[in-house]
Amino acid sequence: MKIIMLGAPGAGKGTQAIMLADKYGIPHISTGDIFRSNIKMGTELGKKAKEYMDQGLLVPDELTTDLVVDRIHQEDCAKGFILDGFPRTIPQAECLTEALAKEDDQMDYAINVDVKDESIINRMAGRRACPNCGATYHLVSLKPKKEGICDRCGEKLILRDDDKPETVKKRLEVYHEMTQPLIDYYEKEGILLTVDGSRDIEVVFDDITRVLEG
């Protein structure tokens, strides 16, 4: 089962990806993890990626795709995998489609976790993080035992800059401009599954697995 997760920042696609990976025993793959792993191991692809990253440049689509394709050919991906954070653009999607087609292969599903911008802004504004141990909480759905204090280490919780409404709005604008077209792309490919991500996590998860197992 080969799955791509789509959705705006804060829509909950990462949470669903982790749950799906756990249920089906397949790896949850993010491009960030791939970059870090290849750079740490000093692979040729990792060295090339690092050259761009050190200059503050985006890693080109073809190189990013090469890194992803290299990763999905590893043994633990034999039964499938879940891509989270890739592809982000139409050129990346086309590179991935072409790379898989060379091996008479293709993706099975592109799952779009759909949440309205207003809901995402409100959801992320309620997040609180511990600057010491990294634990995360939410003012509504995952409150700390003591208001404003981390359960794990007792540090005072903060609202991270990237969770502030003005920052979230900018991130959503970038998403709609660059990533939204992927929804149309995968709909044309006939593999798009859109779910309402505004509901409880378990309800969304049940919706997805019902289709995957249907």
Q: What CATH number does residue 203 fall under?
A: 3.40.50.300
Res 180: pLDDT = 84
Domain count, the chain: 1
Res 179: pLDDT = 80
State the maximum Cα–Cα separation within the chain, in Å, rounded to a whole number.
Answer: 55
Residues annotated catalytic, as ranges: 13, 88, 127, 160, 171
Residues 6 or more apart whose CB falls under 8 angstroms from that of 5 comprise 13, 14, 16, 17, 82, 83, 84, 85, 111, 113
**What is the sign of the dihedral through the CA atoms of 19, 125, 86 and 134?**
negative
- Is residue 190 domain-resident? yes
- Residue-wise pLDDT for 164-176, tens only, equals 999 999 989 988 8
Residue-range definition of the domain harbouring residue 56: 2-115+177-212
| pLDDT > 90? residue 214 | no
- Is residue 153 domain-resident? no
Percent of the chain surpassing pLDDT 70 = 100
Mean pLDDT in residue range 113-117 = 95
- Is residue 124 domain-resident? no
Show the tokens assigned to 31: 């491009």
- Residue-wise pLDDT for 33-89, tens only, equals 888 889 999 999 899 988 888 887 778 888 888 899 999 999 999 999 999 989 988
- Is residue 139 domain-resident? no
Region at 116 (left for phi over 0; alpha for psi -120 to 50; beta for the rest)? beta
Res 57: pLDDT = 79
Show the tokens assigned to 15: 């949470």
- Is residue 150 domain-resident? no
- Is residue 127 domain-resident? no
